[in-house]
Amino acid sequence: MILDAIAKRYSVRHYQDRPVEDDKLAEVLEAARLAPSGSNLQPWKLVVVRDRATIRAMVHAVGGQQFVEQAPVLLVGCKNGKGYNVGHRYDGEIIDIAIALDHATLQAASMGLGTCWLGNYDGNEVRAILNIPSENPVVAILALGYPDETHPHRPRPRKPLSELVCWEKFTG
């Protein structure tokens, strides 16, 4: 059940010193690939980072978040630079990349892997480290790896549906 993976996922900030197997990484990437996108443009490119020295360098670029160094994989989502000129009145690339990476987090969770979104990054620094051209702004970064479960996590609360959802017409 997809809801099981959704409920299982949490932000993993402690990772085992254990690589992610190629076949599991392939499934995580496949989940992203199958994600929907506006007009099916799939307007993104994902940089998969496994090189230890590069991941160490990325720690500074993500605001010094030290736990990132433990992650065996980083997935860096950027715009593909082709634009979104199909009449949409919203920043479709950001939405599409977020959907793709969220698919990735859920596939990862379903296989016992952990992820953490990294929104606190310096896009220029990330681009410099990964040779990403300026036409391809970085939109989202995920850490990926096996959770170190010796560090128990406390589930973060969510607002009740009654606060998040209204029916038929907007009510405050």
Closer to ligand FMN by Cβ: residue 83 or 119: 119
Sheet containing strand 73-79, edge to edge, reads: 44-49, 73-79, 138-145, 114-118
Q: Is 154 in the site for ligand FMN (CB under 6 A)?
A: no
Name which position in 20, 118, 130, 144 contacts ligand FMN (CB under 6 A): 118
Name which position in 90, 134, 156, 171 contacts ligand FMN (CB under 6 A): 156
SS3 category, 51: coil
* Angle of CA points 78, 81, 84, to nearest 5°: 100
Q: Shortest CA distance to 36 belongs to which of 97, 81, 80? A: 97
Q: Shortest CA distance to 100 belongs to which of 120, 78, 125? A: 78
Name which position in 65, 69, 80, 125 contacts ligand FMN (CB under 6 A): 65
Q: Which residue is nearest to ligand FMN (CB)?
A: 119
Q: Is 142 in the site for ligand FMN (CB under 6 A)?
A: no
- Residue 72 CA to residue 55 CA, distance in Å, equals 8
Q: Is 103 in the site for ligand FMN (CB under 6 A)?
A: no
Q: Is 117 in the site for ligand FMN (CB under 6 A)?
A: yes
Q: Which residues bind ligand FMN (CB under 6 A)?
A: 10-11, 13, 65, 116-120, 156
